[in-house]
Each structure stands twice: as structure tokens, then as C-alpha cells.
Amino acid sequence: MTNPLRLGIAGLGTVGIGVVKIVQTHADLLATRAGRPIEIVAISARSRSKDRGVDLTGYAWEDDPVTLAKRDDIDVFIEVMGGDSGPAKASTEAAIASGKDVVSANKALLALHGQALAQAAEDAGRVIRFEAAVAGGIPVVKSLTEGLAANVITRVIGVMNGSCNYILTRMEDAGLPYQDVFDEANALGYLEADPELDVGGIDAAHKLALLSSIAFGTRVDFPAVELEGIGSVSIEDIRQAADMGYKIKLLGVAQMTGRGLEQRMSPCLVPETSPLGQLQGGTNMVVLEGDAVGQIVLRGAGAGEGPTASAVMADVIDIARGTRLSTFGQPASTLRKVRAAQASVAAPYYVRMELVDKPGALSKVAAILADAGVSIDRMRQYGHDDTAAPVLIVTHKTTRTALDAAIEGFARTDVVSGPPVAIRIEAE
């Protein structure tokens, strides 16, 4: 019989136990599709005594994931502990150094150390695969590295954090303010142990940085992602956007521009009729655009035991079959270091402000926009009372720099109360 592929799994939480379940329940299917049996040899977690709802008695136990990574009787080290340093980094490095291939679900580690790890793996003749790290069960890494390998990728855009999409859609559906829905999501266990990773956009930005690297053949550059979380999205803006035919999403956008690589993760308006606009709850969606293929849309579960373990096992099966791809789709030494471009591509913006209700207020705002070269597409006043007049403006395409100049101009007048809200409108 062909040699089995032997796994060591570090981390027995949501993802790790999902992997154990697939290996245990789908043994025949995996062996048939991979061309050889796939078996778990050794495992590691913090607590040996915790009941994890599956039979783990047949596997060797290691308290230390680094020791697990170095075992002679494993071929593939599966890192599903999490963390951008510490044991996750040490054990991944140890696995590569001791001749193991690595499958990881850890976007934080790869977003910060991906280039060095990819280079180390290639130098050692090993592979690192990370399908599960981006958009859970959606095969987006495979789509970029394999299905679309013949394309110049022009743009990657998507909703890559299910918790944020849950919060934003729940705010709209229930008419609740951000803090109420945040507290609810936290109580339901939908958010990471550090919720700022989700609502601050950091988790989604890790994923975007990984996709950018594959899409544009560049070194993964997480610090260059322009980042804004959803904490400042108000129910008022969700309502007004809906009234104008838009939804607010935490949107990741990566595109190569004449000035460098633009990577943004921020709340954006998208047309409510678009695939992204219709995305509800915790689902993820990634839209990929290539010069030959045009646009493709991938949608599915971005998290959870089954979807994430499905992605981990897809990588494991590839390794079992002998498919050996570079971590970011091309040799690490060929990944380019490029300049980061700040939102240089012009777009329409949604702007909401409170005007003091007196003659000439609107014309002052219009004049400041004109001076900054920002053209108004649509404008309306609503919810008018005796003193304040909320005003909504949708601009024609403009740069963020021009809009910021106008917003600075508003602050110097006596007709705009408080800071205006400005949210980019992203076309699909």
C-alpha cells in the first residue's frame, strides 16, 4: 500500500477539531482522492484533559507544539493555534527546519511573517499552504494561485470578516445602534477573544494583505493596508445609505495603480443590488478581476469548524497528491517589494453633515466643494428641525485628498456643526 501522509496537528480548538473530524469520518474518501491514506499521528494543545467531543486516544500527545513540529514520524505540520508570534511562529519555523510541509489557518502569522516563512520553506524544499487563513471555506487562495494563474489580476475586492458583516446587517435589520449589536455579537461568541481584531478591521486586513501578495506578485505588506474599522458606522448612516440604494460593508480592496499597490480595508457603500450589497450575516464574498477571465465572485462561509477544516484538508490533499505550490503562487524571491499607494483611485463619496439652518449655509458648502474641485452628483436635506438641517451629498468621482480639503474648509465656516461623515462608494 502507498505510504500514508502523516499529520501532526497543533491546536485542537474550532479548526483543529474540525480537521480531526474530517480525517476520522472521511478516511476512505480522502485516501481515494489523495491517492494515499491520510492519518493523524500526533496532536498538541494547551490542555490535555479537556473533553473535545472526539476520540483522540489513538494519537501521540505533545505538550509543546515545537516538539510536535520536530517529530520524525510526521510529514505535515498543521498549525491551527493562532497568534502572530510565540508558539505559532516558533513551531512553524521548527517544522520547516526539520523538513515538514506546513498547512496553516493563521492569517495573522502569515500577514506579518509570510515573506520570511515562505523563503525559509523554499530554501528547505518545503511548502506552506494557507487556504483556511483567508475567507474560511471559500477556495480563494486556490482560485488565485491555480484557476486564475494565467491572468493579470486587476483588482481584489471583498467582505472578508463575517463578524463585521453580521454586525452591519443586524444593525440595519433590527434598527439597532452599533454598540448594542457589538455587545450582542460578543455575548453570542461571534467575536475573536480580542474583538478589536474583528471590528477594527485587522483580521480582514491580514486576509487582504495575503490575497494582495498572490494577486500582484508582491511581498505581503500588512502594515501598508489603509485600515479603518466599523466602530464609527452609525445606524443613521446605514439608514441614509439604504434610502439612497446602498449598503455599508467593511470592504477590502486591493489594486495595482500607477503610484503603487493600493490596499484598503474600510467601511464603504456598495450598491444594494450588487452581489456584495446583498451579502447578509456572517457570510464572506471575494470578487476577483483578471484581464482574461473578467470578474468572478466567490461566496461562502468565512469561518466555523466545517468550512475552515474543509480548507485545511484541501491543502493537505494537495500535499498528499504531490502538488507543490509556492506559498504566494510564485517563488518567494520573485515577489516584488512595491510602494504603497494611498487611496489614489478616485471614487464617489457619501458625505453627511449637520448644517446650521440659516440662509446661505448650503451655498457656502457648495462653494467650498467647488473650490476643492469636488463635484456634487446628488444632494438632499432631511429630518429638518428649527436649528439644524442634516444634509446628504453624493459626490462625483473625486480623490480622498480633494474631499479632505473640502472637509477642512467646512470646519472653517460657521455653518457646519461637527465633523462630517465621509464614506467611499465602491463600484463593483
Crossing angle, helix 162-174 and helix 178-187, to 10 degrees? 130
Cβ proximity to ligand HSE, 108 vs 224, nearer residue: 108
Residue 132 CB, nearest approach to ligand NAP (Å)? 5
Secondary element (H or E) of residue 395? strand 388-395
- Is residue 303 a contact residue for ligand HSE (CB under 6 A)? yes
Alpha helices (H) in 153-234, listed in sequence order: 162-174, 178-187, 196-199, 202-216
- Is residue 136 a contact residue for ligand HSE (CB under 6 A)? yes
CA distance 337 to 260: 10
- Is residue 161 a contact residue for ligand HSE (CB under 6 A)? yes
Residue 158 contacts which entry, ligand NAP, ligand HSE, none (Cβ below 5-8 A, type-dependent) = none
Give the residue closest to ligand NAP by C-beta.
13
Cβ proximity to ligand NAP, 13 vs 275, nearer residue: 13
Given the residues 100, 107, 142, 207, the one annotated as active site: 207
Whether 213 and 332 have beta carbons less than 8 Å apart is answered as no
**β-bridge mates for residue 268, sequence order:** 249
Among 114, 158, 162, 229, binds ligand HSE (CB under 6 A): 162
Window 255 to 274, contacts with ligand HSE (CB under 6 A): none
Residue 50 contacts which entry, ligand NAP, ligand HSE, none (Cβ below 5-8 A, type-dependent) = ligand NAP
Among 38, 93, 106, 368, binds ligand NAP (CB under 6 A): 106
CA distance 92 to 112: 13
Secondary element (H or E) of residue 305? helix 305-321
Task: Give Cα 410 to chain centroid, integer Å.
Answer: 34
Classify residue 360 as left (phi > 0), alpha (psi -120 to 50) or beta. Answer: left
DSSP 188: T
Residue 112 CB, nearest approach to ligand HSE (Å)? 15
Amino acid at 232: S
- Is residue 87 a contact residue for ligand NAP (CB under 6 A)? yes
Size of the site for ligand NAP (CB under 6 A): 26
Among 132, 171, 204, 407, binds ligand NAP (CB under 6 A): 132
Window 32 to 71, contacts with ligand NAP (CB under 6 A): 44-47, 50, 65
Which among 45-53, 140-148, 155-163, 252-260 is the span making contact with ligand HSE, rule CB under 6 A?
155-163
Residue 380 contacts which entry, ligand HSE, ligand NAP, none (Cβ below 5-8 A, type-dependent) = none
Which among 338, 340, 342, 344 has a CA at the least distance from the CA of 218? 338
Which among 105-113, 175-183, 230-238, 408-416 is the span making contact with ligand NAP, rule CB under 6 A?
105-113
Rg (Cα) of the chain, in Å, rounded? 24
Classify residue 418 as left (phi > 0), alpha (psi -120 to 50) or beta. Answer: left
Catalytic-residue membership of 142: no
Look up cell 493523524; give the residue. 40
Cβ proximity to ligand NAP, 190 vs 246, nearer residue: 190
Residue 267 contacts which entry, ligand HSE, ligand NAP, none (Cβ below 5-8 A, type-dependent) = none
Which among 140, 153, 146 has a CA at the least distance from the CA of 326? 146
What are the cell numbers at 253?
480592496
List, in order, residues 6 or more apart from 349 with CB less than 8 Å away.
394, 395, 398, 400, 403, 422, 423, 424, 425
- Is residue 308 a contact residue for ligand NAP (CB under 6 A)? yes
Whether 327 and 145 have beta carbons less than 8 Å apart is answered as no
- Is residue 163 a contact residue for ligand HSE (CB under 6 A)? yes
CA distance 73 to 85: 25
Residue 283 contacts which entry, ligand HSE, ligand NAP, none (Cβ below 5-8 A, type-dependent) = none
Cβ proximity to ligand NAP, 65 vs 277, nearer residue: 65
Which among 62-70, 116-124, 157-165, 369-377 is the span making contact with ligand HSE, rule CB under 6 A?
157-165
* Interacting residues with ligand HSE (CB under 6 A): 136, 161-163, 192, 198, 203, 302-303
Catalytic residues: 207
